[in-house]
Structure 1
Amino acid sequence: MGSKVANNKPNKLAFLSMPAPASYVAGLGRGASGFTTRSDIGPAREGPSAEVVAEAQARRGEEAEVDPDQFQDPDNEFGLFAGTTYEADDEEADKIYESVDVAMDSRRRTKREVAEQEALNKHRAERPKIQQQFADLKRGLSAVTDEEWENIPEVGNLTRKKRRRDERSFVVPDSIIVGDRSRNEYENALDARQQAADGFETPAESGTLTNFVELGQARDKILSLKLDQISGTSTSSGLATAIDPKGYLTSLNSVVLKSEAEIGDIKRARMLFDSLVKSNPKHAPGWIAAACLEEHAGRMVQARKVITMGCEQCPKNEDVWLEAARLHNNNDAKVILGRAVQHVGQSVKVWMAAADLESDAKSKKRVLRKALENIPNSVRLWKETVNLEESATDARILLARAVEVIPLSVELWLALARLETPDKAKTVLNTARKAIPTSHEIWIAAGRLLEQDLTTKLSGEAGANKTPAQQAKEMEVVDRTIEAGVKELRRHQVSLTREQWLKEAEKCEAEGSPRTCEAIVKATVAMELEEEEDRLDTWVGDVESAESRGMVGTARAVLAYALKVYPDKKHLWRRAADLEKAHGTRESLDDILSRAVHHCPQAEVLWLMAAKEKWLAGDVPAARSVLEQSFVANPESEQIWLAAVKLEAENGELAVARELLIRARTVADTERIWMKSAVFERQQGQLSAALETLSMALSKFPKFAKLYMIQGQIHQKQNSLTAARASFAAGFKACPKEVTLWILASRLEEADGKSIKARSLLEKARLVNPANELLWAESVGVEERSGAGSAQAKAMLARGLQECPNSGILWSMAIWAEPRAARKGRSMDALKKSADNPVIICTVARLFWAERKLDKARRWFERAVETERDLGESWAWWLKFEKQHGGSEQVEEVKKRCMQADPRHSRVWQEISKDDKNVGKTTEQILELVAEKLG
């Protein structure tokens, strides 16, 4: 029974003969991983082909699926328009759609690129590069000094290997410690034996101790005495010294410390130059460069040896000898140059260098005369020798010998002529002219000599009895000399251009020979000008260029010649008068104007200038005489009649002025004369006569707007507002384009308390005269003065700027309407819109003034008046500024420049200058009044 049980026991190894599970992997518990090979899954097989699939579908009765786009041409339409013809419209439509697609793609591309750039910037901000993280530290390295660089410790061991350390220690003996401690000690006392040996008593014997402080003071005293002896000064004050500590430190700075790189460069250059001089020893520049290299390296001894070898190898080269003299001291240089003249005795440079080495004039003369024996044809040596002579007689003798040896040197002939007396100088110049017939300098020198001689004679007693005409006639010899010289030079085929002759004329003027300058201009200014049309323009250009360079005499001479050729040109006479007014005398100006009115009697402006100059000079009778002569030549001239009236009125002859106006209305009968007649009566307080004159004038000239203005102002002054209103209404009905009439009518209504009526008039005026800055500015002023509030004024100002974007007046009002903090930005906008507007420039200057930036304010005020000199308010603001922040000289300068500019326009200036109370006041007085009124 027991054996049976044993035989039925299950076999534990039966799994080895069983197939493995599908997911079994051998050694999975030990970390193995399973893999599959082709043998595990069998050989690969291809799927059925397209033909087999089609046959199977045909047997089953299925139809093959056809792709509708399989055979479609992509360039042709399909679907609804498949049967239509592809025409030009279709092509255009395709191009439009394509352009739209491209535009949409570009828009998306821009947005995409912006987004990508933002993402990239964000990424770089969050994760910057290492070089960006250390950029500030790298920039900070520029401030590290040499001392800090040297103190940077050396890099230690970076291998991270542990080195074996010697852990053993030793005990230092006491003798070494004591010896090191006493090594740097100093004994400050003497023992008894040393004191006895040196003659000192011991402390026990004398009872005293040695005082080392007094010994130190005595040593310092001796050192101070020695320093004073060296410096050559006394020590009485204790402050005097000739030692220059700054110079001593500067000499220490001259010590050049060369780096290793520079030393390496010097070594390589030395090798190159050494090879050069060995391969080509006769090449002088190589020796000079090699010596300069040694000098740069600080090896002066070697440099001198090298240049000495160069002198031996290249004895015929003057540069080598000069370099050798430079590298040696003074005494050795003299020896070197003495040897040099044996080899290069014809070198002027060597002789000049030898003369420069001498310290006294006598030795220099000896060297130079020795040089002239070897090189007698050197102009430079002769000039240097003559310059060393202190006596004019000796210099004259030398120059006489020089021109014999070098007869073709113009400089020597001219120098000799300057040293001779006038009579002998003429002989010298004649001889020089024969020797050098192609030199224009000799002819010019001859002219200057004649001018100088004649000037001396005419300034003495002999010339005092001669009239200016006689003196001018005697001076004509200079003209003849220069003219003969020009002809002679042409005969010898020497042709200087007009520009060259004019430069010579300016040179003569600069050297104090105005008559020779004028003679040169007369003889040559018409050269090369064959075209009649170009002459006048060319001469005017010559005058402008000469005047711009400050050569007034040359400009005057060119103008005189042009007036001689074209005496009937009014603008030439005006130009000559302006030139004399700016740079000449009153007598010369009177002469020019008298000649001008003689040649151009119909030129009214010349008569007026002549009369005004007489009047300004205080000669009223002469001014009347000039105007009487002008009446004969111009009986119907409005300007001359008015000038005569002004002259009589401002000199108190009111009856004569009234009579002249009556005669002028009969003879000339112009609208301006009638207007001046009415203004004259109003200024004299004869309002009824003025109104009567205006009525007669309006019947003759109904389209003259100023007559309506004056009539309305007179009625307003008489408190006849209805009559004034009627006058202004008739005025802007007859002259709707006259802006001032509308403004006066508006101010009349505003003065009467009818702001609404004033607004209505200005609105009508803006419709008739669109884009007019004065009307818009007046409209803004009405809003500000009517109390409607700043908002209404700002709105009106904004509308005005929209219609007149470049208006300086409106932009100025806009700047001042802003709060203080916003004015600077507003001024920048104004400058961008109209940078050259003088009103805006003046406003910017006032802003700088308010900010206490005085220098900038002064520059901008000057810029404003230079941009437009006719605006009186700019001058008044500048004067007000200088009175507050400038000196008296600056105030006077502003007044002087304003009187020269003579401004006539701007609103406040015209109100004050045309006021009846200010009749007859000067420009300076009007300027003061305007500056006071400006807020």
Structure 2
Amino acid sequence: MSNVGTVKHIPKETRYNFLQMGAPASYVAGLGRGASGFTTRSDIGPAREGPSAEAIAEAMAKRGEEVPDPDALQDPDDERNLFAGTVYEADDEEADMIWESVDQRMDARRRAKREASEAEIAAKERAMNPKLQTQFADLKRSLSGLNDADWNAIPEAGNLTGKRRKHNLRLEENQNGRSYAVSDTVLADAASRNVILGELDAAQQEVSLNSLYTRRQTEHIQNGGYETPAGDGTMTDFVSIGNARDKVLSLRLDQASKDATNGSSTSVDPRGYMTALNSQIIQTDAQIGDIKQARQLLQNLIQSNPKHAPGWIAAASLEVHAKKMVQARKIIAEGCEKCPKSEDVWFHAAELNTPENAKVILGKAVQHVPQSVKIWLKAASLETDTTAKKRVLRKALEFIPNSVRLWKETVNLEDDPEDARILLTRAVEVIPTSVELWLTLARLETPENARKVLNSARARIPTSHEIYIAAGRLAEQSPSAVGDVKFEDDAARRQALAPQVDKLMAGAVARLTKAQAILPREQWLQEAERCETEGSPLTAQAIVKATIHLEVEEEDRRTVWLEDADRAEKGGFYEVARACFVVLLETFPKSPSVWRTAAEFEKKHGTPEAVQEILAKGVEHCPHAEVLWLMAAKELWVGGNVKGAQEVLARAFQQNEDSESIFLAAAKIAVETGETEAAQQILQKARAQADTDRIWMKSAVLERQLGKLDEALVTLEQAIAKYPHFDKLHMIRGQIYSDRNEVVNARNAYAQGCKACPKSIPLWILSSRLEEKAGVIIKARALLEKGRLYNPKNDELWAASVRMEERTGGPQQAKTLLARAMQECPTSPTLLAMGIFMENPQQRKSRSVDALKKAPDHAVVIVAVARLFWGERKIEKTRQWMQNAITADSDWGDAWGWWLKFERQHGEKERQEAVISACEKAAPHHGPTWQSVSKDLANVGKSTREILELVADRLE
């Protein structure tokens, strides 16, 4: 149907009733947007009041804004209602503070829970209404992967509309529909070109000439750059100007290079020209502003207080910092005029000028401040001739005769000792209280005259400890101190001089104490250390002997003095430590530990004769100290005096008839010297008198070594009857039967030992090895498991089980057992080292890192790491880790064996000998392979060198 001719119904305009209604009384237009009522100049008559506080609060509440509390800012001095007009006193403030603390306490009770709840609500709010920047964060991060081509391919935002915008400004339209305004700087520069000046200064003339030269060079340069209309209608081609400047610079450099080639003189260095330009320090605007501000402040300072010398110095220093030396010299010169009595101003002026000008300035300075030592020394330093320096310094001494520094500088310039001595003689007359001058004069005198000089100095300065120390050193070094006596060596001479030096220092301490000039104890010890460093050991010892008792309570003397000796030993002051031990031994002669400590010190840092002398005195004062007798006998034995060692032990028997250690030491010396019958007699006598388990054990071992196995078994039977819980007796008995191939008797011996000593780890291991050797693997495994039941978390038993599984069950079974062992003993160094080499080669390095974290200081783990580097053929690194293992535990013999094995393969003969020598010095005793080799009957009596060679051969 056609719509032609139909008439559309036009609805009548709707009118709302509220548009005809009046506004409420409190209505303010725009109040919802933050507006408020106001009155304009056109309002005449009774203006409408603004909204009330309640209306404003209601509108702010509708907008969601926080309604301010009207009482929040209430002044406590302006109370209302009941407290209106009262005074806010201290008790009111205290009450307010109490209530505030209560509020804080109540608020803190559930603060953590409330803050967690608020954080959760905030997180939900951010998740529901995220910000735009968080929504596009992933897109922003993806922009970092764009390259330069992608960035260039992004179209311009203004070009997407395809429309051209029209401007009424002076613009030029380019091909893309853009236009650029002419810079005001360009217009101003173009306008300034037509300005006519009546006179040009030098800088402007130079700039004008350069500009003219540049224009002439650019006349024949054609380049299609951008041309900008200037104010006078001329066109400025900036590209041409830049090219012209580059060409001018190139021409200048080429000309300079030609001149240099032709040998003509030129002021331009073609090589260093650009370097000099780059080395110029360009100050920023901020730095220039700071300099200007500081300059103004200092200018105000020196103008307001011209007599203030530091102000002039600071102002000159600022100009030096600003690279304005002429201005700095001018300021400091004015400062010298304003503050002629300030030596710092004159000194600074000399520093800022050339040496010749500085001499003139200092010449004026000494006229105003003739008592300034600093000025005279500076003047002397400016002189290049020694004679001129002497003349300046002697002139200075005329004005300042009591300056120690001037006298020292004058004396130092003298080449002739006699002239220096004459000067010092005059110096001590002028300055009799200078200790330094007296000591210097004493050093230049002969020993006899030096003693007189020191006596005179001591009379003039009775409170100086340096003079007494110098006297002691003089007495120690003077050849006439002991007359015409000749000594065999320096030690005998020192022994003869020691009483004299000790007496001198003791008298010095007494005099200083009387004069109330005694030094603290620590300072005396430092002086002793300094004397030892400077080559006066007797003086150092005398100081310690005379002052070590100061400031120490009687009950603390032993502990404090031992600490002093230990600290001196660690610091390398062995003479000081030796003096501490001398005092200790004199004060505590009945203490065996003190004698032993002193002997060990002398063994490390002294001579064998000194050790033997201390031990001989020690056994006299402590006859019942077995350890001192044993040490004395061992020192004689090691020194080759076997007869003397036997005599010492014989004397020890008289004082200690029932001593087990002395009996065993005597038997050992007899065995080492080949007197086996005497050794047997000594042990038989020891069994009757001392009757200890170790004596029975040593008797059986000696009989076994001599091949008397039946007698050894009889001795062991008797010993086991007396001492059934001594595991070594059972072990020796089982080993004897095992050597005889009597498996049943050996099994019974080990079984009896395991039953009597279930905590003995070696017994379980020996018993298991016996069964393994017999081919009964199941029983060997069961014995080790039973041993682990009696000794839980024992890594030795686990290690024995793992090794047995490697030999009998295969590597995979051993690895599984090792995993169980590591669960029970996670920090065992032995298991950690075994685990390193059970892993695949690719995983050994990570396993070694884990082992070092769990057991970083054990030699077994460190040797395992060294073996890894050895396998990688890192020679120096392996050698370093071997050294680390020895440092960690020098008593671990297996580490020495691995090191020697390594040096045999990769080291020279000298390195091998160094390892063997160090091992002999360390004398190790532990390690599985080391103990098995050293305790083998075939190796009895062999030296440490021979044992080390055998261990290196056995290690795999």
- C-alpha separation in 1, matches of 2:126 and 2:695: 74
Kindly indicate whether the alpha-carbon contact (under 8 Å) linking 1:311 and 1:320 is maintained by their aligned counterparts in 2: yes
Map 1:836-875; keep pairs closer than 5 Å.
836-875=857-896
Corresponding residue for residue 500 of structure 2? 477
Moved more, 825-834 or 797-806: 825-834
Corresponding residue for residue 167 of structure 2? none
- C-alpha separation in 1, matches of 2:519 and 2:634: 44
Corresponding residue for residue 443 of structure 1? 468
Write the deviation string for residues 160-202 of structure 1: whole angstroms up to 9, x where unpaired: 544799xxxxxxxxxx99x9599xxxxxxxxxxxxxxxxxxxx
RMSD: 4.2
**Alignment match of 2:545 (pick from 517, 522, 534):** 522
Corresponding residue for residue 555 of structure 1? 577
Corresponding residue for residue 102 of structure 2? none
**Alignment match of 1:506 (pick from 522, 525, 529):** 529
Corresponding residue for residue 645 of structure 1? 667
**Alignment match of 2:517 (pick from 494, 519, 526):** 494
Kindly indicate whether the alpha-carbon contact (under 8 Å) linking 1:457 and 1:463 is maintained by their aligned counterparts in 2: no
> How far off its partner does 1:539 sit?
0.4
Query: Structure 1 residues 519 and 281, CA, compared in 2 at 3 Å: closer, same or farther?
Result: same
Kindly indicate whether the alpha-carbon contact (under 8 Å) linking 2:476 and 2:497 is maintained by their aligned counterparts in 1: no
Map 1:754-765; keep pairs closer than 5 Å.
754-765=776-787
TM-score (norm 2): 0.73
**Alignment match of 1:402 (pick from 424, 427, 435):** 427
Query: Structure 1 residues 287 and 881, CA, compared in 2 at 3 Å: closer, same or farther?
Result: farther
Kindly indicate whether the alpha-carbon contact (under 8 Å) linking 2:738 and 2:746 is maintained by their aligned counterparts in 1: yes
Unpaired segments ≥5 residues, structure 2 = 22-109, 150-172, 183-215, 223-257
Kindly indicate whether the alpha-carbon contact (under 8 Å) linking 1:737 and 1:769 is maintained by their aligned counterparts in 2: yes
Kindly indicate whether the alpha-carbon contact (under 8 Å) linking 2:891 and 2:924 is maintained by their aligned counterparts in 1: yes
> How far off its partner does 1:897 sit?
3.7
Moved more, 281-290 or 413-422: 281-290
Write the deviation string for residues 337-388 of structure 1: whole angstroms up to 9, x where unpaired: 1111001110001111111111122111111111110000000011111111
Q: Which has the larger radius of gyration?
A: 1
Unpaired segments ≥5 residues, structure 1 = 1-11, 27-34, 44-97, 138-155, 166-175, 183-217, 228-243
> How far off its partner does 1:106 sit?
12
> How far off its partner does 1:399 sit?
1.1
Write the deviation string for residues 106-150 of structure 1: whole angstroms up to 9, x where unpaired: 99999989999999999666312699679999xxxxxxxxxxxxx
Corresponding residue for residue 296 of structure 1? 321
Kindly indicate whether the alpha-carbon contact (under 8 Å) linking 2:629 and 2:649 is maintained by their aligned counterparts in 1: yes
Query: Structure 1 residues 917 and 125, CA, compared in 2 at 3 Å: closer, same or farther?
Result: farther
Corresponding residue for residue 627 of structure 1? 649
- C-alpha separation in 1, matches of 2:558 and 2:857: 33
Say which SS state the counterpart of residue 275 (structure 1) adopts. Answer: helix
Kindly indicate whether the alpha-carbon contact (under 8 Å) linking 1:440 and 1:489 is maintained by their aligned counterparts in 2: yes
Kindly indicate whether the alpha-carbon contact (under 8 Å) linking 2:475 and 2:481 is maintained by their aligned counterparts in 1: no
Kindly indicate whether the alpha-carbon contact (under 8 Å) linking 1:463 and 1:471 is maintained by their aligned counterparts in 2: no
Corresponding residue for residue 58 of structure 1? none
- C-alpha separation in 2, matches of 1:136 and 1:396: 83
Say which SS state the counterpart of residue 577 (structure 1) adopts. Answer: helix
Kindly indicate whether the alpha-carbon contact (under 8 Å) linking 1:830 and 1:840 is maintained by their aligned counterparts in 2: yes
Say which SS state the counterpart of residue 618 (structure 1) adopts. Answer: coil
> How far off its partner does 1:684 sit?
2.5
Kindly indicate whether the alpha-carbon contact (under 8 Å) linking 2:411 and 2:424 is maintained by their aligned counterparts in 1: yes
Kindly indicate whether the alpha-carbon contact (under 8 Å) linking 1:645 and 1:661 is maintained by their aligned counterparts in 2: yes
Query: Structure 1 residues 346 and 220, CA, compared in 2 at 3 Å: closer, same or farther?
Result: closer
Work out whether 1:312 is the aligned partner of 2:337: yes
- C-alpha separation in 1, matches of 2:499 and 2:488: 18
Query: Structure 1 residues 298 and 439, CA, compared in 2 at 3 Å: closer, same or farther?
Result: same
Write the deviation string for residues 299-331 of structure 1: whole angstroms up to 9, x where unpaired: 322222222112111111111111111222222
Say which SS state the counterpart of residue 727 (structure 1) adopts. Answer: helix
Say which SS state the counterpart of residue 128 (structure 1) adopts. Answer: helix
Corresponding residue for residue 807 of structure 2? 785
> How far off its partner does 1:855 sit?
4.8
Work out whether 1:417 is the aligned partner of 2:442: yes
Corresponding residue for residue 60 of structure 1? none
- C-alpha separation in 1, matches of 2:341 and 2:953: 84
**Alignment match of 1:685 (pick from 701, 707, 710):** 707
- The residue type paired with residue 822 of structure 2 is L
Write the deviation string for residues 853-889 of structure 1: whole angstroms up to 9, x where unpaired: 4555444433333333322222322333344445555
Kindly indicate whether the alpha-carbon contact (under 8 Å) linking 1:318 and 1:350 is maintained by their aligned counterparts in 2: yes
Corresponding residue for residue 138 of structure 2? 126
Write the deviation string for residues 220-279 of structure 1: whole angstroms up to 9, x where unpaired: 99849x99xxxxxxxxxxxxxxxx999x99995995432343444434433333333223
Map 1:102-113; keep pairs closer than 5 Å.
none
> How far off its partner does 1:402 sit?
0.8
Map 1:866-885; keep pairs closer than 5 Å.
866-885=887-906
Work out whether 1:276 is the aligned partner of 2:301: yes
Say which SS state the counterpart of residue 140 (structure 2) adopts. Answer: coil
Kindly indicate whether the alpha-carbon contact (under 8 Å) linking 2:487 and 2:493 is maintained by their aligned counterparts in 1: no
Map 1:149-548; keep pairs closer than 5 Å.
161-162=178-179, 223=263, 256-261=280-285, 262-453=287-478, 455=479, 458=482, 462-464=485-487, 472=495, 475-532=498-555, 534-548=556-570
- C-alpha separation in 2, matches of 1:747 and 1:121: 75
Query: May I ask how many residue pairs the two structures share in their alignment?
Result: 770
Kindly indicate whether the alpha-carbon contact (under 8 Å) linking 1:325 and 1:336 is maintained by their aligned counterparts in 2: yes
- The residue type paired with residue 257 of structure 1 is I
Kindly indicate whether the alpha-carbon contact (under 8 Å) linking 1:742 and 1:761 is maintained by their aligned counterparts in 2: yes
**Alignment match of 1:575 (pick from 586, 597, 605):** 597
Query: Structure 1 residues 652 and 416, CA, compared in 2 at 3 Å: closer, same or farther?
Result: same
Kindly indicate whether the alpha-carbon contact (under 8 Å) linking 1:648 and 1:656 is maintained by their aligned counterparts in 2: yes
Kindly indicate whether the alpha-carbon contact (under 8 Å) linking 1:875 and 1:898 is maintained by their aligned counterparts in 2: yes
Query: Structure 1 residues 826 and 159, CA, compared in 2 at 3 Å: closer, same or farther?
Result: same
Kindly indicate whether the alpha-carbon contact (under 8 Å) linking 1:876 and 1:927 is maintained by their aligned counterparts in 2: yes
- C-alpha separation in 2, matches of 1:844 and 1:418: 59
- C-alpha separation in 1, matches of 2:116 and 2:558: 66
> How far off its partner does 1:444 sit?
1.2
- C-alpha separation in 2, matches of 1:276 and 1:42: 78
Query: Structure 1 residues 313 and 691, CA, compared in 2 at 3 Å: closer, same or farther?
Result: same
Corresponding residue for residue 768 of structure 2? 746
- C-alpha separation in 1, matches of 2:350 and 2:143: 57
- C-alpha separation in 1, matches of 2:275 and 2:513: 62
Kindly indicate whether the alpha-carbon contact (under 8 Å) linking 1:712 and 1:723 is maintained by their aligned counterparts in 2: yes
Write the deviation string for residues 575-623 of structure 1: whole angstroms up to 9, x where unpaired: 1111111111222122112111211222222222222222222222222
- The residue type paired with residue 785 of structure 1 is R
> How far off its partner does 1:761 sit?
0.9
Say which SS state the counterpart of residue 759 (structure 1) adopts. Answer: helix
Query: Structure 1 residues 254 and 309, CA, compared in 2 at 3 Å: closer, same or farther?
Result: farther
- C-alpha separation in 2, matches of 1:601 and 1:421: 51
- C-alpha separation in 1, matches of 2:175 and 2:509: 92
- The residue type paired with residue 725 of structure 1 is R
Write the deviation string for residues 784-829 of structure 1: whole angstroms up to 9, x where unpaired: 211x233322222122122222211112222221111122232333
TM-score (norm 1): 0.75
